[in-house]
Amino acid sequence: MQLGESSIVLLGIALSLGLLIGVERGFKYRDQKEGSRVAGLRTYGLISLLGAVSAMLSEQLGTFLLGVFFIGLALALTASYVINSTRERSSLTSLIASLLAFCFGAMVMVGYVTEAASLAIITTLLLSLKGELHRWLWLIEKKELWAALELLIISVVILSVIPNEDMGPWDALNPYKIWWMVVLISSISFVSYFAMKFAGARKGIMATALFAGLASSTALTLQFSKMAKQMPQASPLLAAGVLFACGTMYPRVLLVASVINPELLQPLAIPTLTMAAMTYLPALWLWYRGNQSVPEHVAPPASPLSLWSALGFGALLTGILLLSSGLKATLGDAGVFMLAAASGVADVDPINLSLSGMSRDGLALETAVLGIVIAATVNGLLKAGMTGVIGGQAMLRRASIPLIIASTVGLGLAVMA
C-alpha cells in the first residue's frame, strides 16, 4: 500500500499533536536527568505517530491490531512507570498522557482530526495547570464543593431525563424548558459567587455589583443599604454599587428575552437600554467620587448555590406560566399586565421568560414588551424604596432617586412605543 498525500498530512498532524503534549511534559520535567521520565518530548511524538500507524495498519489487517498495539504500549509504559517509581517519585499523569497521545494519533487517521486536535489542546492545558488546579482545591470550601455537585445534579443528571414537550393546562408547561431556565439562573448565581469571592473588596466592588446584578440585585441592594446605614461615610460608593447591580438587570432582561425570541430585541432595546444608561451614569459619577471610602471587605453570599432556591425558582416560573396563559385566555392583555406588575415585586426573570416564550406562540410583541417593562419598573421602584428606607437619607438621594427616574422614563417609552 502506497502512502497518499493526504495520509502523509494526517501522519504529520498526528506527530504534531504528540509533540504538543511532549513540549509541556518536557518543559515541566526539563531538570530531571535523561532516562528518569516515563516519556519525553520525542517519545510523545513517536507514541502519537505509533497510534496513527497502528490505525493505518488495522484498516488493512483487521481492527484487532489497533487494540494489540495499544495493550502492548500500555504494558511497556506501565513497566517503565513501575521501574521509575522504585527509584524516585514518578508521575502517573505522564503515563495517562502517553496513552492519550496514542489515541489522538489513531483518531487522526480514522477521520476525527478536529476532535483529536481539540482534545490534545485541552489535555496540554490541563497538564500545564497542575499548580493552579491544586491551589484552587485548597481555596475551595466544603459548601462550595457541595454547591458544584448540586449544580451538576440539576444540570447534567436531571435535565437529561426531563421530557421536552408541552403539557398541562393550555399546554403552558414544558418541563425541559422550565428546568433549563432553573439551570441557567443557578449557573449565573454560581459564577457570580466566585467572582465576588476572588475579586476582593477595595478593587473588586464594581465586579461584585455587576455580577450581583446577574445573580440577585435585590440581595445586593439590601446588603449595601444596611452597610450604608452603619457606615455613612461609604454611602457614595455603596450607592454606586447598588446602581451598578440594578443597572445590570436591564441588559440582562434584554439579553434573555432576545435569546428566547429575537423579534423582541428591537422593541425592547429602547426602554431597557435607556433605563440602564440612566442608572449607570450616576453610578459612574458616584464611583468616581467615593472611590476612597471603600470598605475593607464585601462578603459574598452565604452559599454559592441552594438547591431549594433553584427548586423554588422553578415552582415560581411554573406558577407564572400557568397564570400567564390563564389570564391571557380569560382577560386578554390586561391580565398579562396585572400579572407582570405582581411578578415584578418578587423577580423579573420568571415573567420575562414567560412573556418572551408566549410572544413566540401568539402573544403580541407590543404586549410582551410592555409587560416585561412593567415588571422591570415595579422591581426597580421596589429596590428604590428599599434603598431609601433601609439606607437612610444619603442612599435615598444617591440611589433611590436615580432608580425612580430610570424606571419612570423606561415605562413611559414602552407605553408610547
Residue spans of the domains in the chain: they are 5-134, 140-416
Query: What is the three-class DSSP state of 173?
Result: strand
Average pLDDT over residues 2-12: 72
Specify which residues 167 forms β-bridges with. 173
Average pLDDT over residues 350-358: 78
The better pLDDT of the pair 323, 70 is held by 70
Interval 18-63: pLDDT, tens: 888 888 777 665 555 555 455 566 888 888 888 888 988 888 887 7
pLDDT at 279: 92
Asked whether residue 109 carries a pLDDT value surpassing 50, the answer given is yes
* In 293-347, alpha helices (H): 307-330, 333-346
Of the chain, the percentage scoring pLDDT greater than 90 comes to 4
Asked whether residue 206 carries a pLDDT value surpassing 60, the answer given is yes
Q: Which residues have CB under 8 Å from 389's CB, separation 6+?
A: none
- Burial class of residue 273 in the structure, from the number of CB atoms within 10 Å of its CB (0-12 exposed, 13-18 middle, 19+ buried): middle
pLDDT at 153: 79
The amino acid at residue 358 is M
Query: Cβ(271)–Cβ(414) under 8 Å?
Result: yes
167 DSSP 8-state letter: B
Residue 404 — pLDDT band, cuts 50, 70, 90? Answer: very high
Q: How far is the C-alpha of 237 from the C-alpha of 221, rounded, in Å?
A: 13
pLDDT at 1: 42
Nearest-CA neighbor of 409 among 361, 362, 377, 364?
A: 377
Q: How far is the C-alpha of 222 from the C-alpha of 301, rounded, in Å?
A: 12
Query: Cβ(366)–Cβ(336) under 8 Å?
Result: no
pLDDT at 2: 45
Average pLDDT over residues 328-341: 64
pLDDT at 336: 63
Asked whether residue 375 carries a pLDDT value surpassing 60, the answer given is yes
Q: How far is the C-alpha of 208 from the C-alpha of 195, rounded, in Å?
A: 7
Average pLDDT over residues 384-406: 86
Q: DSSP for 187-224?
A: HHHHHHHHHHHHH-STTTHHHHHHHHHHH-HHHHHHHH
pLDDT at 180: 76
Q: Which residues have CB under 8 Å from 164's CB, separation 6+?
A: 174, 175, 176, 177
pTM: 0.53
Residue 405 — pLDDT band, cuts 50, 70, 90? Answer: very high
pLDDT at 34: 55
Asked whether residue 296 carries a pLDDT value surpassing 60, the answer given is no
Average pLDDT over residues 1-12: 70
Residue 145 — pLDDT band, cuts 50, 70, 90? Answer: confident
Distances (CA, A) of 200 to 147, 195, 197, 224, 296: 21, 9, 6, 16, 9
Range among 24-38, 196-210, 246-260 rated most confident: 246-260
Average pLDDT over residues 154-179: 74
Asked whether residue 289 carries a pLDDT value surpassing 80, the answer given is no
